[in-house]
Amino acid sequence: MSLEDLIRRIPKAELHIHIEGSLEPELMFEIGRRNGVKSRFQTVDALREAYNFSDLQSFLDIYYEGASVLREEHDFYDMTMAYLRRAAADNVRHAEIFFDPQTHTDRGIAFETVISGITAALRDGPISTRLILCFLRHLSAESAMRTLEEALPFKDRLVAVGLDSGEVGNPPSKFATVFARARSEGLRAVAHAGEEGPPSYIREALDILGASRIDHGVRCMEDPALVDELVARRIPLTVCPLSNVKLRVFKTMKDHNLRTMLQRGIVATVNSDDPAYFGGYVVDNYLAVASALALTETEIQQLALNSFEASFLTASERARLIKS
């Protein structure tokens, strides 16, 4: 079996996927037409040409504009189902999916509309899933708390809360109170940290937010003591290689530190982040990093196993999905 065949066939879990970031331009235009929402881009090709990002913020500007077409429950259903089917084609057996309710509630869409559309698709979809509510860190902690209060009647549909959006200048500690409240309600915690932000943000996410998993985390290697802690505690990192290059975290894929993480013993995983914008889904990310870093079969297998270890599945659920 070739390395590409192994990558395509091996069972995988995806733990870092923003559902709004899976909204492909074709579906975005289709939903926009049925909702009467006009884009400033006249064609799908023109929109794709705009996906030449210089940093995280330049991506977020387009990302929030794209999400503006989502108005009705079935819009969220269609978007989510499209991702689930695409993930299944990559032999993703389990996905833990982020959604950003503030992106929608701040423009007048009811929280229930958003979560009902997404969870209906998760129920009907072809793979195992969990749902994670992310707070937008560029907004206030008070806004995050209001969002959590809206979410609590639906907490049985959630496994965790997370933190995303613009990292620089928005440390995890800003959201200490809301994460403490979420944990008191039985929700787990994850957080984006150490992508554009410094390694100290990873420490804050662990020590202040109580995160059991770090999203991105690639700048951890700048702090050897932090790396030692991540290894000792087996804190997983949900790494997104194509995203990291697209947003200039690394200049080229050959500069990526994923293989170094594996060699150091970090529980690193491969994920797609916002695949509609960054040029690929899970298999595309595996293929890109495997080629650039000359990963071995053993390393590919380790990444796939890490993805299940890092998930919020039970041990029996993991075993069943790996063998199914």
Give catalytic residues, as residue numbers.
Answer: 195
- 267, 309 contact by CB (below 8 A): yes
- 3-class DSSP string for 192-222: EECCCCCHHHHHHHHHCCCCCEEEECHHHHH
User: Residue 296: which residues within 8 A CB-CB, separation 6 or more?
Assistant: none
Nearest to 244, CA basis, from 235, 230, 257, 261: 257
d(CA 203, CA 205): 5
User: What DSSP designation does 320 have?
Assistant: H
CA 12 – CA 305 distance, rounded (Å)? 8
* DSSP type of residue 159: S
Closest CA to 49 of 30, 36, 62, 64: 62
